[in-house]
Amino acid sequence: MITDTIAAIATPLGEGGMAIVRLSGPQALDIAGRCFQPVGPSSQCPANAPTHTLHYGRIVSEGRNIDEVLLAVLRAPRTYTREDTVEITCHGGVLASKAVLDTVLGAGARLAGPGEFTLRAFLSGRIDLAQAEAVADLIHARTHLALAAANEQLAGKLSQRINRLRDELMRHLAHVEAHIDFPDEDIAPHTTEQIQSGLRAAVTLTDTLLACANEGQILRRGIRVAIIGRPNAGKSSLLNHLLGHDRAIVTPIAGTTRDTIEETADIRGIPVVLVDTAGLRDTVDTIESEGVRRSHASAAAAELILHVLDASQPLTAEDSQHLEQFADKKRIIVRNKMDQPFAGHTAPQMNGAAVGTCCLDGRGIEELKDAIKAAVWSGDIGADMLPAMINARHQDALRRTREAAAHALHALEHGEPLEIAAMELRLAAQAVGEIVGKTSTEDLLDSIFSQFCIGK
């Protein structure tokens, strides 16, 4: 039973026009009433106010005015947490919002932990665990596709598939256990076939969901792409074009970039962490040498390399060396400066897609974006895929579900003891139930909600 009332600033810290301090719990209305002084004939004390109403007044502490606010009264169960909730809209700024928060904490509330409001929404049954994770995905989404996938999961589209799968597994388990309890009654052939057919469908569904695991994780965390090449090949100009704004300094002087620069770009709906690096060359300059070392480290850690070559110049020995050095990495060869006569790059080490660009007029940039998407994403991004963008935790649970369901199917097909099939079906149902929180542990919940921000 949840008996305490929590409070936190629900808006980002920093300067802004407004901030919101949220309270949730059985004493939310009483605690807010100790701090809130209504102003005007239509404003009421929180304890007397109807649900979903807004009231103008002041937050006061020991007779001092803390801030002028609007106070929203939201009574259970029609709230985010299904508890009584109060949201105080005060002036923005670190000091103003903290003063209001300190006042409600002093009146009896407890500071909320990371994700505790959403945890309470899960514990109250308003959302399941997959939907709770979608809240965090929604907050951290960096592209429109990531946002769309999070919204689909928050709406319960993934949960519907998972719950249907679990219900089917539980139904098959009930059939098998019934025949274990009554061994004198043989399972009818058509019943056995129905169970086997259902398990084949379950294995197929888990395979379908697992097939989207890589794309789902890319949408959530992005993909690291290192831009490498020798000095003055146009790496920083390329970064600026892909970002759509000037981020890196660009000059005709070779070696302008001495350190790595990281920025995230939305490329065809995929969050791509672009890493601009120092030019690859032998140098005696201590600072530039450190930049080159970091360039090599960035290329080694990247999931995709954009190897930029100056198309107007022949390949140098260093170019060939670097092409060979990174030949085992997934990469795209970018032949830049295509506005000038092409030097005709050909080399056995130049495996990978090749795209011609010109950073002066933007030629080839859209084709490069298509090539980046093709290199990291399998197939088109259809609307029907978005609800199945599972995360790493879902992937692990589904793998265990598939393995157990396949073992149960094998046991039934080969006439093994029904107890084996029942055990595997139990494991499958338990594993898939973890996704929506129908089987969960305190450690699992701590691991998930500790990644949330405070106030959500």
pLDDT digits (tens, 9 = 90+) for 62-72: 989 999 999 99
pLDDT of residue 316: 80
- Comparing CA positions, the residue from 303, 347, 357, 291 lying closest to residue 324 is 347
pLDDT of residue 264: 87
pTM value surpassing 0.85: no
Specify the range with the lowest mean pLDDT, choosing from 79-88, 427-436, 444-453: 444-453
414-438 confidence digits (pLDDT tens): 989 889 999 999 999 999 999 999 8
pLDDT at 258 over 60: no
pLDDT at 237: 85
pLDDT, averaged across the chain: 86
Alpha-carbon gap, residue 440 to 119, rounded angstroms: 13
User: How much of the chain exceeds pLDDT 70, in percent?
Assistant: 87
Query: What are the two backbone dihedrals, phi and then psi, of residue 184, each rounded to the nearest 5 degrees?
Result: -70, -20
Tens digits of residue pLDDT in 371-382: 998 888 866 556
Domains annotated on the chain, with CATH: 6-112 (3.30.1360.120), 131-212+388-449 (1.20.120.430), 222-376 (3.40.50.300)
Q: What is the pLDDT of residue 111?
A: 96
Query: Strand order in 64-74's β-sheet?
Result: 36-38, 53-61, 64-74, 85-91, 18-24, 6-9, 110-111
pLDDT at 76 over 80: yes
Model pLDDT for residues 148-170, shown as the tens digit of each residue? 888 999 999 999 999 999 999 99
Q: What is the pLDDT of residue 395?
A: 93
Residue 105: partners with Cβ closer than 8 Å, 6 or more residues away? 7, 111
224 token code pair:
């690291």
344 class by beta-carbon count within 10 Å (0-12 exposed, 13-18 middle, 19+ buried): exposed
- Find the mean pLDDT for residues 243-259: 58
The answer to whether the bond into 114 is cis (omega within 30° of 0) is no
Q: Among candidates 285, 303, 347, which has minimal Cα distance to 321?
A: 347
Whole-number Å distance between alpha carbons of 65 and 71: 15
Q: For residue 133, what pLDDT is reported? A: 92
Position 231 scores a pLDDT of 81
- Looking at the predicted structure, is the pLDDT value of residue 259 above 70? no
Query: What's the confidence (pLDDT) of residue 287?
Result: 61
